[in-house]
Structure 1
Amino acid sequence: MIIEIDGYLQSVMLTGRKCTKKQLKEKYLKAKKHSVDGKSFPELFCRMHHFDRVPYDSEIEVDFVIDTDTDRIYQPSY
C-alpha cells in the first residue's frame, strides 16, 4: 500500500504492508505520540511500522492520506 503524509512542512510518500484505515490510524497515533516534531515524523513512522519512503510523485495514486495538520486520515478519490 502507498500512503501520503501531508503536513505543513512536507509531503512524503511511504510504502508498506496493506492495512485498514483503523489500523493505519492506530499506527499514526502511536508514532505521533513518540514524535518530537513534524519533520522527523515520517522517518519515525517508517522505523516503527516497517514502511519505506519512496520518492514523492503527485501522479501516484495513494491508498490513504494522513493529514498531520488535522490528524485526518482519508482515501482520496481519483
Structure 2
Amino acid sequence: MIIEIDGYYHQVLLTGEKCSKKQLKQKYLKAKELTYEILDLPNVFCRLYHFEQIQYDSDIQVDFVIDTDTDRIYFPS
C-alpha cells in the first residue's frame, strides 16, 4: 500500500501494510496527536505503524492521499 501525505510544506510517500480507509484515518489521527510539529508526522507515522518513506515521484500511483491541511483522506482521482 502506498500513501501520499500532502501538506502545505511537504509531499511524502509512505509504503506499508494494506489497511482500510477507516483504519488509515484512525492511524493518522493517532500519529497527529503524538506529533509536535506537522513536518514530523511522516516519521511518527512510520515509527508507529512500520511504514517506510520512499522517494517522492508524482508518477507513482497511490492508494490514499492524506491531506494534512484539511485532515481529509481520499482516493486520488
Same fold (TM over 0.5): yes
Quote the residue 1:76 is aligned against.
Answer: 76
Cα offsets for 1:17-74 (capped at 9, x unmatched): 0000000000000000000011111000000011000000000010000000000000
Q: Secondary structure at the match of 1:40?
A: helix
Quote the residue 1:11 is aligned against.
Answer: 11
The percent identity for this pair of structures is 65
Query: TM-score scaled to structure 2, two decimals?
Result: 0.98
Instruction: Assess if the C-alpha contact under 8 Å between 1:9 and 1:38 holds in 2.
Output: no
Q: Distance in 2 between matches of 1:7 and 1:38?
A: 9
The runs of 5 or more residues in structure 2 that have no matched partner are none
Which residues in structure 2 correspond to 1:1-78 (within 5 Å)?
1-77=1-77
Q: Secondary structure at the match of 1:62?
A: coil
Q: What is the aligned length? A: 77
Q: Secondary structure at the match of 1:39?
A: helix
Q: Distance in 1 between matches of 2:34 and 2:58?
A: 28
Q: Distance in 2 between matches of 1:7 and 1:69?
A: 6
